[in-house]
Amino acid sequence: MGLKRASRTTLVEQVVAQMELLIESGTWPVGLRIPAEPDLVRQLGVSRNTVREAVKSLVHAGLLIARPGDGTYVCSSSVLGAVLLRRLRRSSIDETLEVRFALEQEAARLAAVRRTAEDIERLRRSLDEFDAASENKDIEGYVQADLNLHKMIIAAAHNSVLTELYEHITEGVRVSIGSVLDHSVLMEPHIKIHRDLVQAIIDQDPEYAAEAVRAYIEASRHILQGDKREE
């Protein structure tokens, strides 16, 4: 998808709309450094001021982030995602865990009913990533493997709205996982709970899948409450 030359009055709004479309469609994915200002001026056929105001608007909306001396990057795939990300950054880990519980428990139930053979294969590969990270004592890799597994379970629920909503809170999920997995000694029990969850989905047992989600969320909350008592 290319940029179209803007033509009529509210040029800033037109440029903003085009950039939003590029971001929401994935043409400009999260993490991408967008074209430099002179390139955007040339592609859009508008002035530097128009481009500057459009970029400033998207930075304010939370879709872009400007890094002085480096460039401007896509930091969220939608306005909703940007709003949720800002809200999660202000929330406590306990609040994030409650949101995770609400979304992940229902996703696990749905996945146990709707999972396909392809979903099962992806879930098993995610568990293999868990094992590899655990054996290597790789906390960062373990957090990523945990996040990937939860995203695979969400995908196996086959609900496009749920998938998109969860994608918007993944940064908050990553933080909550990392807070628990700083305790590397707890990796193996953590893996076992997730193995039980995946097995329940494979066995098409929605109630046991939901119970497994409750178990790891409660375990996470218990660990974090223990940290608070020690402070």
Indicate if 214 and 104 belong to the same structural domain: yes
Indicate if 71 and 91 belong to the same structural domain: no
Indicate if 34 and 134 belong to the same structural domain: no
Distance, in Å, from the CA atom of 113 to the CA atom of 151, rounded to the nearest integer, reads 17
> Per residue in 146-160, pLDDT tens?
889 999 999 999 998
> 3 lies in a domain?
no
CATH number of the domain bearing residue 71: 1.10.10.10
Indicate if 66 and 166 belong to the same structural domain: no
pLDDT of 72 strictly over 60: yes
If one counts every other C-beta atom within 10 angstroms of the C-beta of residue 199, the result is 15
Question: Which residues fall within 8 angstroms of residue 107, CB to CB, at 6 or more apart?
Answer: 153, 154, 156, 157, 159, 162, 166
> Per residue in 11-25, pLDDT tens?
899 999 999 999 988
Tally the domains of the chain.
2
Find the Cα–Cα–Cα–Cα dihedral 18, 24, 27, 30, rounded to 10°.
120
Indicate if 114 and 28 belong to the same structural domain: no
Indicate if 106 and 72 belong to the same structural domain: no
Phi and psi at 32, nearest 5°, equal: -75, 140
Indicate if 197 and 131 belong to the same structural domain: yes
Show the domain range for 206.
81-230
Where does a domain end: 44, 76, 108? 76
> Per residue in 105-143, pLDDT tens?
999 999 999 999 999 999 999 999 988 888 888 888 888
> 5 lies in a domain?
no
Indicate if 200 and 181 belong to the same structural domain: yes
CATH number of the domain bearing residue 100: 1.20.120.530
